[in-house]
Structure 1
Amino acid sequence: MNRSLTLRTGQCHVQRYMRPLLDRIERGELDPTRVITHRLPLAEAPHGYDIFTNKADGCEKVVLKP
């Protein structure tokens, strides 16, 4: 269902890099959840930013859950 989601990237050419990556994710060839190292409640967002910024505890990607 259309949820009006917007995907934004940093310094990346969408057609050259993102489209092929998204296609591979859709086909199940890549699992982007592998980079998630920490899942925290939204109330712990300051802690999540701190461990991400300082690369503490092997942090690669933090997902905040409302």
Structure 2
Amino acid sequence: MAKVEYSEGTWRKSSYSGGGNDCVEVALFTGHVGVRDSKNPDAGALSVSPSGWRGLLHAVGRN
């Protein structure tokens, strides 16, 4: 798998975050979804498959 340049993504916070930095940010990339901590975006990101992301959203009731 090629190294992902997460800095090139368009990151967005959930509308449920309340405007603070205590949430996660999500960016869509070709073939995967990036997830990172909004308080420390330079610490890296977790990469999950689109089906894994949909499963997580379904599990927390945000589908």
Q: Normalised by the size of structure 2, how large is the TM-score? A: 0.28
Give the helix-richer structure, 1 or 2: 1
Give the strand-richer structure, 1 or 2: 2
Q: Normalised by the size of structure 1, how large is the TM-score? A: 0.27
Larger gyration radius, structure 1 or structure 2: 1
